[in-house]
Structure 1
């Protein structure tokens, strides 16, 4: 059952500016809060995990990655223990729409599955984010991959993983993951949809430059500008594309 305690909690984490070259800065952005989720009574154990998750996100917001890690490591162990006996495939759903999506996907694959709330995956994301913030990219990737595996249609986790692959210079894998994020973002609405698309397209454009595909990269950045015409970071990347093209002529 999806819980509605994440609106205030997720607001704890803000957005940090991203740099242009050589690599976009770590996106300190909280996953979007669940929409249209039913209100349900938490058990005392669930409420305790929710409180710990809030403390971890507050630590991330304050730039205290080590403190967040100290909270998230045992918290993730609690999630593992809580669902240790679950034999069905577990999905983390942000809202009712995702719940239906994942259950239909499971039915189509003839698999037994359940959709739980976003807490476990948010903790995985937070653990990965903290490790990236500490420049431990390789250690962060498995946590982000797990979050994506459990929440495969959530643009935020996909873009975070795409960023991690970028940091590892795995350009094609990064591009493919950002492309999945862009596809997932199309299912979002309003400002969140625009922000998610911009982030995914920006990541795709960055990877295309690194793979020498300047024309395709330019197209991606221009799509970003259609959403946010005054985005200076996108304009910087377009200028970089022009400079690289000039060097080849």
Structure 2
């Protein structure tokens, strides 16, 4: 039986999140048409809600969606163009200043990021954009991975995590890459983080999904480290969340086969 390292995949994340993320450079909150979820300075937090009956327009999210469709069609190099436009836009405007900048999917994780700077004791301004900017880094990393350019993928996923450090998807994806490179210590740490942050997902189904991805990833790493009892426990934990989850069942059979040969 061939085994694969578990990763969530492109389509699932884009289905789970309606929008995407940005990034700051000037020490002033002057964002023009960029999608801003929250701004903060010290204890003053402003939530930028959409008026009733209105729709939040995000041209950058549309570009990321265009890139996604190109990736689905196998047009990886063409997909880079809209992603580069999004990234260049935010880096040029927000990449060099003193503001703390984040990228979030919704108000829940946006509020968490807004509080991070406050907890650090710094009084700098904070701005939390929608998800397009971080997702552009993440998708650009995905494309590099498809091209077997894993160092570049790690770099891009690191940038996504700098904007969204508690995003379970980005943590799981970076863990997946390190597992491929057989850097199991880093992979395990990232899977642990992804599992811990899964509660920030938008729906209970996505919370369960992210947790299972993390648990399967941990199981894979533990098997590679010949820690079969711990690996078995990780897969069973996934099955406790999602009954009859096929990958976990297959991995448990794989572990059973390994034990029979010992």
Bin for the TM-score computed over the shorter chain: 0.7 to 0.9
Tell me the residue number matched to 1:8: none
With structure 1 as the length reference, what TM-score do the two structures score?
0.82
Cα drift, residue 247 of structure 1: 2.6
| Preserved contact between residue 109 and residue 200 of structure 2 (Cα < 8 Å) | no
| Preserved contact between residue 6 and residue 213 of structure 2 (Cα < 8 Å) | no
| Preserved contact between residue 198 and residue 224 of structure 1 (Cα < 8 Å) | yes
Of Structure 1 and Structure 2, which has the larger fraction of its residues in strand? Answer: 2
| Preserved contact between residue 141 and residue 164 of structure 1 (Cα < 8 Å) | yes
Q: For residues 145 and 85 of structure 1, do their structure 2 counterparts lie closer, same or farther at Cα, with a shift above 3 Å needed?
A: closer
Distance 1:78 1:144 in 2: 18
Tell me the residue number matched to 1:198: 212
The partner residue of 2:102 within 64, 72, 91 is 91
Is 1:142 matched up with 2:155?
yes
Is 1:178 matched up with 2:160?
no
- Which runs of 5 or more structure 1 residues have no equivalent in the other structure? 1-18
| Preserved contact between residue 165 and residue 173 of structure 1 (Cα < 8 Å) | yes
Cα drift, residue 26 of structure 1: 6.9
The partner residue of 2:71 within 45, 52, 60 is 60
With structure 2 as the length reference, what TM-score do the two structures score?
0.78
| Preserved contact between residue 167 and residue 197 of structure 2 (Cα < 8 Å) | yes
Alignment of 1:1-249 (within 5 A): 21-24=3-6, 27-28=9-10, 29-31=12-14, 32-33=16-17, 38-39=49-50, 47-84=58-95, 86-111=97-122, 112=124, 113-188=126-201, 189-248=203-262
Cα drift, residue 198 of structure 1: 0.7
1:20-64 CA-to-partner distances (Å, cap 9, x unmatched) read 615346723325316998327899xx8543332221121123232
| Preserved contact between residue 7 and residue 172 of structure 2 (Cα < 8 Å) | no
Q: Please provide the CA RMSD for this pair.
A: 2.6
| Preserved contact between residue 162 and residue 178 of structure 1 (Cα < 8 Å) | yes
| Preserved contact between residue 20 and residue 237 of structure 1 (Cα < 8 Å) | no
| Preserved contact between residue 158 and residue 181 of structure 1 (Cα < 8 Å) | yes
| Preserved contact between residue 108 and residue 200 of structure 2 (Cα < 8 Å) | no
Distance 1:30 1:20 in 2: 25
Distance 2:131 2:149 in 1: 24
Distance 1:170 1:163 in 2: 10
Secondary structure of the residue that 1:115 maps to in structure 2?
Answer: strand
Distance 2:184 2:192 in 1: 12
Secondary structure of the residue that 2:127 maps to in structure 1?
Answer: strand
Q: In the comparison of the two structures, how many residue pairs are matched?
A: 228
1:129-154 CA-to-partner distances (Å, cap 9, x unmatched) read 11111221121111001111210111
Structure 1: 4+ residue segments shifted above 6 A: 40-43
Secondary structure of the residue that 2:220 maps to in structure 1?
Answer: helix
